[in-house]
Amino acid sequence: MGSMADAGIDVLMVTQASSESSITVVVPENQGKKALGALQSTFELELSRSNVNSISLTDVPMAIVAIVGEGMAMNSGVSASFMSALAKANVNIRVIAQGSSERQVAVVVEGKDVSRALRSAHMAFTLSQTMLSVVILGGTGKLGSALIRQLNAQRDSLAKNLNFGVCVNAIASSSKMILGKNGACLATSRAGDMLEADDAQDLDMEALTAALEADVNPHRVIIDCTNSESVADHYEEWMSKGVNVISPGRKAGAGSLERYNAIREAQRANAVEWQYESSVGSALPILTTLQAVRQAVEQDFTENDIKEDLAGYDAALKIVILARELGLNISVEDVEVESLLPEELRNKEYTGTKEEVNAAILEDLKSLDEPMMERWKEAKSDDRLLRYKFVIDVPNGKCKCSLEAVDNSDTLYRLRNNENLVAFETSRYTTSPLIVKGAAAGPELSAAGMFADLLRLGRAFSTFQT
């Protein structure tokens, strides 16, 4: 320190490793080279004899963020709250120092992270309201539109009752996007109009990712309403940048196992959340007759391609998501699936608008009325009902979904209309399974599941406030 003082260097922070093998000195940026020269001159002999291995100056711009308060000495957990807030904001700490009075804790972070670090500290100690920066992909579709309606309806309640706000600063459709200038909140009630306006940009995932990275808000969330493979390919990159992801689609959760594991690793490494409960909660109606299929299509209970429902593919995706949560490394190809469609209909190509394609499929499905009615009558004669049922056999690593005739002792027997049911049979729930049951189909209910995921994130971020 004597050489620094002789050279007129202002020493801002000093830390030493417990092993006494290194010392870090923090000085003003404009004095960095002068400080380096002073130290190299002072330790010239030690450097030549390798008693001191090296003296270096980082070329990365750095900044100091400090919390100061009289009450810090009397309250435990203040430093933990500070460090946790920075970790959740994906801010890497390079140096830590605490005053002997216990009334100050200072950290050194990269200059590019200083705004995010400050905002996370302010939110952690309730100097400002917890705010979530939200990007909505697929914002003009049925699911995205339903979510935006729910956000608009609950915005005031979130601020008043849960003390966090939601700032939607980017919305995208399948071809256009609009970004809030410098991260400003968008008027979500006008999402459709804004995306059709002349100033809307062509959808550019790289530009969108750059805007996310530049956002200084520590709590950033992408809500993906697209169920797109190409969008799911970005999850790992977004999480590596500290962005949380909510995805009701099943492409990421049940797609490539390699991609799934990479996303999970990025999630763990960067302390972010991947919420996708709504990807399983949406129910599949039991489509056994042409009338049931037509009603499901009219009420938006089916997938965009209704053949995915009838072929069992969508159910298989949900099974894969649940099975992976249970520790099974499986892909959709590993699921034994009974399709309700004969092979010629599964492989048939349809052209035209969505309405024209659905109409053509419904017309072809008339050929299935008679055989399906026979299965229904056979089940009815034995006081059974037809249910499309999936089973995940964890001990044997087997998964299957099929149309089965169940009797009144089966939990699926009493399902109605658009209800969904999952029964958990475990070592603790043997004689009577743990049952989750309820209506779970259509865009409004799926959007409600996504909204619940967003609430969980908001509450989790708020827990760092003291």
SS (H, E, C) the chain: CHHHHHCCCCCCEEEECCCCCCEEEECCHHHHHHHHHHHHHHCHHHHHCCCCCCCCCCCCCEEEEEEECHHHHCCCCHHHHHHHHHHHCCCCEEEEEECCCCCEEEEEEEHHHHHHHHHHHHHHCCCCCEEEEEEEECCCCHHHHHHHHHHHHHHHHHHHHHCEEEEEEEEECCCEEEECHHHCCCCHHHHHHHHHCCCCEECCHHHHHHHHHHCCCCCEEEEECCCCHHHHCCHHHHHHCCCEEECCCCHHHHCCHHHHHHHHHHHHHHCCCEECCHHHHCCCCCCCCHHHHHHHHHCCCCCCCHHHHHCCHHHHHHHHHHHHHCCCCCCHHHCEECCCCCHHHHCCCCCCCHHHHHHHHHHHHHHHHHHHHHHHHHHHHCCCEEEEEEEEECCCCEEEEEEEEECCCCHHHHCCCCEEEEEECCCCCCCCCEEEEEECCCHHHHHHHHHHHHHHHHHHHHCCCC
366 flagged as catalytic: no
Q: Which of 318, 389, 400, 437 is catalytic?
A: 318
Catalytic residues: 318
